[in-house]
Amino acid sequence: MPEIAETSHNLIRSRRNPLVRRIRQLHDAKGRREQGLLLLEGTHLLQEVLRLNLQPAEVVATETWLQRHQPLLERLPGPWPLCTVCDTVLAAMATTQHPDGVLLTLSNAALPASGNRPRSRDGLWLCLDAIQDPGNLGTLIRTGLAADVSGLWLADGADPFQPKVLRASAGAALELPIWRGPRDALAERLRELQSRPGLQIAASVPPHQGGSPYWELDWSRPTALLLGSEGAGLAEPLLALADRRVTIPHAPAVESLNVAVAAAPLLLERQRQRLTRHPQPAAAG
Ligand SMILES: C[S@@+](CC[C@H](N)C(=O)[O-])C[C@H]1O[C@@H](n2cnc3c(N)ncnc32)[C@H](O)[C@@H]1O
């Protein structure tokens, strides 16, 4: 069992306890920056931390949760302090309406380093322009991980480490190298990436903005895929960098797809092309 702080023996019952204020500060970007910590809520994210072998900064749990999940805690790499709180104190710390009894904090330093080092020669970078909705961003991050992207580059938009995005990404935000900065800086990064041999920048646009069907692109080439924001789409300075525009054709009854929905076929097309070119042998039996 990891080292446990004194607080574990003293059940915290008061919402005025300084711990409550400190954890609540992590709801906002400013508090996360100042404390250098992220707030992860719920058993699923704790399991992701365990799977990734990350060491929490601290764990806060109710007695009921502890009775049911003690073995999980024992597998978390330590040492870390454990604080036991009553239900109302946990609810005061959480951003969700119905917290499941546990939350933990994680140092920013525990996250994968951001950067542009490709994980493979045929790298795929997911570049998002000012995504506003935390649910969309979380879904995009999760799909990016499923597509084995080399990195996620964000121009402004929602904070990928806010609790809502972390939940919607089902923890994928803890695993992907994520860079976030102003749109100009993203454009600069893309220009640098463009100097790599064979690299292509593909801007995804709704059908009314032209573009060829996405399956016509050779996704085996190193590719930076750009997706635009929910309202305005891709900003002109990013569109201008694209070597190709790709689209998912659909009925004209809708002008465009939700950005997180559009990302799934685009991001997974690389895998589809790979599997079609090199079919996997059928399983015996
Ligand atoms: C909701 S759309 C933006 C709509 C915006 N009014 C426009 O016209 O660009 C958000 C982003 O999702 C992607 N997207 C939406 N529908 C798409 C489609 N049919 N094909 C390819 N990308 C699409 C694009 O990257 C787009 O910028």
CATH number at residue 193: 3.40.1280.10
Mutate which of 128, 140, 205, 267 for ligand 1 pocket (most atoms within 8 A of beta carbon): 205
Looking at residue 114, what is its pLDDT? 45
Alpha carbon of 132 to those of 13, 90, 137, 160, 205: distances in Å? Answer: 37, 28, 8, 10, 18
Residue closest via CA to ligand 1's atom 9 equals: 233
Alpha carbon of 78 to those of 55, 57, 111: distances in Å? Answer: 6, 9, 16
Same domain, 92 and 178: no
Same domain, 158 and 20: no
DSSP designation for 40? E
Q: What angle do CA 115, 178, 40 make, to 5 degrees?
A: 140
Mutate which of 140, 225, 245, 259 for ligand 1 pocket (most atoms within 8 A of beta carbon): 259
pTM equals 0.91
* Domain encompassing residue 253: 124-277
Q: Is residue 117 part of a domain?
A: no
Q: Is residue 249 part of a domain?
A: yes
Q: Is the dihedral of CA 81, 177, 136, 52 positive or negative?
A: negative
Looking at residue 193, what is its pLDDT? 93
Q: Is residue 170 part of a domain?
A: yes
Same domain, 66 and 194: no
- Tens digit of each residue's pLDDT (9 = 90 or more) over 17-67: 999 999 999 999 999 999 999 999 999 999 999 999 999 999 999 999 999
Looking at residue 122, what is its pLDDT? 60
Q: Is residue 118 part of a domain?
A: no
Residue closest via CA to ligand 1's atom 12 equals: 259
Looking at residue 285, what is its pLDDT? 57
At which of 77, 110, 143 does a domain end? 110
Q: Which residues of the chain have pLDDT under 70?
A: 1-9, 113-122, 283-285
CATH number at residue 10: 3.30.1330.30
Looking at residue 115, what is its pLDDT? 42
266 three-class SS? helix
